[in-house]
Amino acid sequence: MVHFIGKDNIVFHCIVFPSMLKAHGGYILPENVPANEFLNLEGRRSPHRATGPSGCTNTSRSFPARRTCCATCSAPIAPETKDNDFTWKDFQARNNNELVAVLGNFVNRALVLTHKYFDGAVPACGALTDYDRETLRELSGAKEALENNIENYRFREALKEAMNIARLGNKYLADTEPWKLIKTDPERV
């Protein structure tokens, strides 16, 4: 069990609450209590410290499909090591320039190509080139860093690695042009 809390709740969540749970019995005690600093809203102290900036929290509640967007666009400013500030301008820029332009673009391209040329099924891997092997090494390193950051509750760094994986995928598709290669060397694709 892990409790994610703000820095103002450390004593309660590390001493008082576990003591209450232990005294009552039958509850799982937290094994880790990562404490964050504060996330302010547009330069002002957020009235909802426990839930984050009220605008994003309300957006998540009103539009459940946007929870991923709120989480992804807020992770880069997560107050893991210092107080930080949430602004709607930065949120919009991250949504458009990272979530849509990088991750969304890669996922869309990969799915469209797979559907168009392989009836939606991922084809078997053919012979690898040196470039393929180098890209796979980079992806493996990014995946390992992503997993390590998640396991150590460093979500800002984990998101950077996830975006790095999408950037590597976009670069690979741009460099190898599988939509052209399928016409001349379908086994290679």
Cβ-Cβ contacts under 8 Å for 137 (sequence gap 6 or more): none
pLDDT of residue 51: 46
**Which of 48, 36, 49, 33 has its CA nearest to residue 77?**
36
**32 three-class SS:** strand
In the block, residue with structure tokens 């012979």: 127
Q: Which tens digits make up the pLDDT trace of 39-65?
A: 888 888 765 554 455 555 555 566 666
More confident residue, 189 or 134: 134
Q: Which tens digits make up the pLDDT trace of 104-146?
A: 999 999 999 999 999 999 999 889 999 999 999 999 999 999 9
Do 75 and 86 form a contact (C-beta atoms < 8 A)? Answer: no
> What is the overall mean pLDDT for the chain?
87
The Cα 162–Cα 140 span in angstroms is 12
pLDDT of residue 46: 62
Handedness of CA 65, 9, 91, 95 (dihedral sign): negative
pLDDT of residue 61: 67
pLDDT of residue 136: 98
CA distances from 171 to 125, 135, 164, 165, 176 (A): 19, 10, 10, 10, 8
Do 178 and 113 form a contact (C-beta atoms < 8 A)? Answer: yes
pLDDT of residue 20: 93
Amino acid at 67: R
Structural domains of the chain sorted by starting position, each given as residue range(s) with its CATH number in brackets: 88-189 (1.10.730.10)
Cβ-Cβ contacts under 8 Å for 38 (sequence gap 6 or more): 6, 7, 8, 45, 46, 49, 79, 83, 84
Residue 85's pLDDT band (cuts 50, 70, 90):
confident
The Cα 129–Cα 135 span in angstroms is 10
The model scores a pTM over 0.85: no
Average pLDDT over residues 29-38: 88
pLDDT of residue 62: 64
